[in-house]
Amino acid sequence: MWRIILVLVIFMVGWVGFLHQPLAQGKFIVLQSTTSTANSGLLDYLLPIFERETGITVHVVAVGSGQAIRNAMNGDGDVILVHARQDEDKFVADGFGVQRWDVMYNDFIIVGPRQDPAMVRGMEDAAAAFKKIALSKVPFISRGDDSGTHKMEMSLWRIAGMDPTQASGQWYRESGSSMGATINIAVETQGYLVSDRGTWISFKNKGDLEVLVEGNRTLYNPYGIILVNPKKHPHVKAQEGQVFIDWMVGAKGQKVIEEFKVNGESLFFPNATKK
Amino acid sequence: MTDLSDVFFLAISLVLSGNNDLLEIVALSLRVSLTAVGCAVLVGMPLGAAVGLGRFPGKNIIVLFFNAMMGIPPVVVGLFVYMMVSKSGPLGWLDILYTPTAMITAQFILITPIIASLTRQVIEDLHQHHAQQFRSLCVPRHVAILELLREGRTSLLTTAMAGLGRAMAEVGAVIIVGGNINHLTRVMTTAIALETSKGDLALALALGIVLLAMSLIINSAVMGLRNRAPSVIGTVS
Amino acid sequence: MKDVCLDVEGKRLIDRVSLTLFPETISLFMGPSGAGKSLLLRLLHGLLSPSRGSITWAGRVLDDRMRKRQAMVFQNPVMLNRSVLANLTFVLRLVDNNHPHVAMELLERVALRQHARQPAMELSGGERQRLAIAKALAVQPEVLFLDEAMSHLDPPSVTLIEELILQQQRQGIKVIMVSHDLGQIQRLADEIFFVHQGQLVEHAVAQTFFANPQSFPAQLFLQSQSWSKTFYQE
């Protein structure tokens, strides 16, 4: 009987190996990306063009910026595309990344119910708007997941001189989920939140939420692209990864980013300094 | 909110359109989960049977361990497998993170305890029934295990289906170790999660209906097979 | 051939029973319900091990090699959930004697040939027990145990099985059985062991036992049995 089991196990392992094989072939890189670039559809639009031109397939793992950086620190990825400026600089300074490149930007917006119970519509100062929301104790839905958006939101609270986490579970609600899931919650609870513009424009379940505050300097949202350092993780596909970065910050990639529109609106604005 | 009839219509038109992406996702779901169940059956059933028939110190602890593992959240299994096969993990050299193989591994770990635990119960009950007869005939242990597994085939099929159900339905583990990469590791559940986070709730729900339909088809196929099985298997040998 | 020495010393269920069985005869255990007849059979066959005392067959301790030369038919036959034939070939495979004609011959002997392809679970009580007998015979045992194997069976099945038992005995096979049916006991038994409350209270040749039971419990038992028989007949 044990022989039968042995044969079956070998067969099973072989089968899995067979399934595994073709997938590992061909040139590919793993891109640890923030969710906004993936969920907004930018990468779906941009990557096929890149793949056609270079023959390199890009496998996108879309997670929050914080997790993307942590995964890359573990060596699980070749390139990261994130928006968390301080963490990006630290990532490079600690030797995990080779160099940070500017690639594009958009901006954050404060979204809330159309009736606007906290009366922040049209305010110039994002931090002041935060203060008003806190004082009126209307629901505010935070990402609460250490993502780029979450970090930006926390820095706004710091500027406003407030610590909303003390009201956590009351009017301040940390979803601990993706941007989309957080918007879904805000739609149902008539809450306020911070979103990146890309995700918001392409989001399909807006309910009666609207953009209430935008255009402030503090809401600037730059995206960076970094090659994971092959000196830290020798298996990193540095050559292919660099091809991707060069393409993204190069004329072609920048043009494609600019061309990408949802409902006629640009979601990302190229700002690479190279070339 | 979109109303439910629209969602249903969307689900049907999704299936009828024969959308390549959808087919790819469905195929991968089946491939990953069926392979995981196959492996889990191969390991879990003999293991459960051996535990069920065995009398050794610490048996209760093993039984308890399996039973507790039945309730483990998929995310925890996903994290565990991620930490193992991450480049910084002990098995990083295998190079299987963000591949279907990693997803199969995670689901395998998730459902083997279920299959082992339920098998143990089935075999223990059957063994009570057959113990004296087997003892009288001096049936060797490994033959007893095989014969009892065969005796319990209907219950064990249900056990395998329970495993398949959990494998196909879970999202927490595969999204971590698979990464939900388009055309590579995107399965039904991770696609549903993705569409939800894009706010396309109608599409997410429609995909859910497709998943439900898949499950219905598999289960009715198995049920049809089972109703025919006894006479077929019975006469073959 | 078996020279059987049995010396069991148990706690309460079987209380210091010592007995010797001789080959080529039909030994029958009888006694009221719960007396420990079936336990004695299981002890003899090695399904239970004595808490004290020892059981030896032909001077040797009972082991698997010895047990393979014995077979037992239980009161409630246990079938595998497959065809009649498959149930039999399962046993035949265990004893390395799996030839199609052997199986069919055995089924013929228990009048189940025409049921060979039928699922065993669909058989009637009598048919099941006949299959159980066929399984026991498949082992080609030197000792055959029957534990109330014919209670609640249809008369034709009982007759068939009784004939098979006598046939086995004539071929030199030791038969050890438990039965409640006085008529059957008188038809089959060479010697009687009367068991009462876990103790062996009487051992006699069958005719002697029925003609003149020595112990009080046996007298009482025979009286009640014959009384109830007349009671039911009226």
Q: Return the pLDDT at A5.
A: 60
Whose CA is closest to B164, among B216, B210, B87, B202?
Answer: B216
Reduced to 3 states (helix: H, G, I; strand: E, B; else coil), residue C2 is coil
CB C6 within 8 A of CB C55: yes
Greatest extent of chain B over all pairs of C-alpha atoms, in Å: 67
CB B194 within 8 A of CB B182: no
Domain residue ranges of chain A, discontinuous segments joined by +: 2-106+222-270, 108-219
Q: How far is CA B162 from the centre of its chain?
A: 7
Residue in chain B lying closest to C44 (CA): B136
CB C3 within 8 A of CB C22: yes
Q: Which of A38-42, A56-60, A211-215, A270-274 has the lowest mean pLDDT?
A: A270-274
Q: Which of A86-95, A149-158, A162-171, C32-41 has the lowest mean pLDDT?
A: C32-41
Q: Give the homologous superfamily in CATH for domain A2-106+222-270.
A: Periplasmic binding protein-like II (3.40.190.10)
Instruction: Flag if B230 and C47 touch (Cβ within 8 Å).
Output: no
| Domain A2-106+222-270 and domain A108-219 have a common topology | yes
Beta-carbon contacts of residue C155 (< 8 Å; ≥ 6 apart): none
CA angle, residues C127, C133, C139, in degrees to nearest 5: 145
CB C27 within 8 A of CB C53: no
DSSP-assigned beta bridge partners for residue A266: A261
Q: Return the pLDDT at C125.
A: 87
Dihedral through CA B66, CA B67, CA B68, CA B73, nearest 10?
Answer: 90
Confidence of residue A275 (pLDDT cuts 50, 70, 90): very low
Please tell me the total count of domains within chain B: 1
- Asked if residue C216 has pLDDT above 90, the reply is no
Q: Which two tokens stand for residue B204?
A: 């997410």
Best of B35, B181, B186 to disrupt the A interface (most A CBs within 10 Å) is: B181
Instruction: Flag if B181 and A8 touch (Cβ within 8 Å).
Output: no
φ/ψ (deg, to 5) at B38: -55, -50
Confidence of residue C3 (pLDDT cuts 50, 70, 90): low
The shortest CB-CB distance from B137 to any of C89, C94, C117 is to: C94
DSSP-assigned beta bridge partners for residue A227: A79
Beta strands in C31-168 (DSSP E): 53-57, 60-61, 70-73, 143-147
Best of A19, A33, A50 to disrupt the B interface (most B CBs within 10 Å) is: A19
Confidence of residue C210 (pLDDT cuts 50, 70, 90): confident
Mind listing the pLDDT tens digit for each residue in A124-160?
999 999 999 999 999 999 999 888 899 999 999 999 9
Residue in chain B lying closest to A43 (CA): B182
Instruction: Flag if A76 and B98 touch (Cβ within 8 Å).
Output: yes
Give the separation between CA C34 and CA B82, rounded to whole angstroms. Answer: 61
CATH architecture of A108-219: 3-Layer(aba) Sandwich (3.40)
Enumerate neighbours of A (3 or more CB pairs within 8 A).
B
Give the separation between CA B139 and CA A1, rounded to whole angstroms. Answer: 14
- Asked if residue C141 has pLDDT above 70, the reply is yes
Q: Return the pLDDT at C234.
A: 43
Chain B contacts in chain C segment 112-131 (CB below 8 A): 117, 119
Mind listing the pLDDT tens digit for each residue in A156-186?
999 999 999 999 889 999 998 889 899 999 9
User: Where in the sequence is the domain holding B10, given as residue range(s)?
Assistant: 4-234
Q: Return the pLDDT at C224.
A: 80
CB B103 within 8 A of CB B32: yes
- Domain at B161, CATH number: 1.10.3720.10
Neighbours of A218 (CB within 10 A): 13
Confidence of residue A4 (pLDDT cuts 50, 70, 90): low
Q: Return the pLDDT at B219.
A: 86
Q: What is the pLDDT along chain B (237 residues), one digit of tens a residue?
A: 457 788 888 888 887 887 788 888 999 999 999 999 999 999 999 899 989 888 888 889 999 999 999 989 999 999 999 999 998 999 988 889 999 999 999 999 999 999 999 999 999 999 988 988 898 888 888 888 888 988 998 899 999 999 999 999 999 999 999 999 988 999 999 999 999 888 888 888 889 999 999 899 888 888 877 776 544 343 333
User: Chain B closest CA to A99's CA: distance in Å?
Assistant: 21
Size of interface A-B (CB pairs under 8 A): 96
Residue in chain A lying closest to B90 (CA): A74
- Dihedral sign (CA C132, C133, C136, C140): negative
